[in-house]
Structure 1
Amino acid sequence: MTLLLSVALFGIHSLMFYLLKINTDSYSYSLLELYGFFTPIAVFIIIVLIFVHRKNKDAVGYAFMALTCIQMAANYFMLHPMLQQNLRPQKINFFILFALFLAMETIITARILNNKQ
């Protein structure tokens, strides 16, 4: 589900950039690079949470918080070059993607936690 949603978001995002004629030549990372960064991390987090849920249902929330903190650290290192530049649209684009993937991970984690199996 996460992978399909990521592909759909990438298509919509690319289409928006194309229709709005947004020039991304000066961006530190292309859309493909950003989605290539966020998607595997999201898939990895969800796989780990499913594994944790099978082993110890009470630890899913803690695992989610720990993995999200690690993800935020990785995101900072990726964001750092953008902070040096004065390209506000690029920073907004990065944070929107971060928020979308974090929301996706949070919703799936909530579903895992609410699963009564």
Structure 2
Amino acid sequence: MKFDKTLYIQFILFVIVIFLANLLIVSIFQLETKFEKTTYSLRKMLVFFTVSSLVLLVIHDFIRYKNKDILGYVFMATLTVKVILTYTFIAPVLKATVVNSFEKTYFFCLFIVYLFVDVYFTVRLLNKKT
């Protein structure tokens, strides 16, 4: 099996841009004090989403190599598993007695950003000539 190195390098560049953009947003809007009151730090959120998206990318790349025709179905299944894992990750925040809307909103925004990353790389794999 041969993995496409440019795909993974591009994924790493995407993650770096997302990380730097988040640091910039936090510093511009001075959100450090808001993150002190959250259950999960920005770093934990970014690591969770990066690792889960990387796992999806590796699985999708492997499936594309084995049988490209089922990649769309595998994407839907793996995305469903990712959503379930994301819910279990954020469940303590959702069930907390004190509602922290900032943390929920920031987590949801990161979820959407990484969802776009997952979709982008899966589309690239689907359009790749074998």
TM-score interval, normalised by the smaller of the two chains: over 0.9
| Match status 1:49 vs 2:38 | no
Q: Which among 12, 17, 23 is matched to residue 8 of structure 1?
A: 17
SS state of the match for residue 36, structure 2? coil
2:5 maps to none
2:79 maps to 68
2:115 maps to 102
Q: Is the CA contact 1:2–1:42 (under 8 Å) kept in the aligned structure 2?
A: no
1:79 maps to 90
How far apart are 1:77 and its partner, in Å?
A: 0.7
Point out 4+ residue stretches in structure 1 off by more than 6 angstroms.
Answer: none
CA distance in 2, matches of 1:82, 1:111: 34
User: Quick one: which amino acid aligns to residue 51 of structure 1?
Assistant: F
| Match status 1:40 vs 2:51 | yes
Q: Is the CA contact 1:3–1:39 (under 8 Å) kept in the aligned structure 2?
A: no
- TM-score w.r.t. the length of structure 1 is 0.94
Unpaired stretches in structure 2, ≥5 consecutive residues: 1-9
User: Quick one: which amino acid aligns to residue 12 of structure 2?
Assistant: L
Percentage of matched positions with identical amino acids: 28
CA distance in 2, matches of 1:106, 1:32: 23
- TM-score w.r.t. the length of structure 2 is 0.85
Unpaired stretches in structure 1, ≥5 consecutive residues: none
Count of aligned pairs: 117
CA distance in 2, matches of 1:66, 1:90: 27
SS state of the match for residue 21, structure 1? coil
How far apart are 1:10 and its partner, in Å?
A: 1.1
CA offset digits 1:57-76 (Å, max 9, x no partner): 11101111111011001100
| C-alpha RMSD of the superposition | 1.1
User: Quick one: which amino acid aligns to residue 20 of structure 2?
Assistant: G
How far apart are 1:112 and its partner, in Å?
A: 1.0
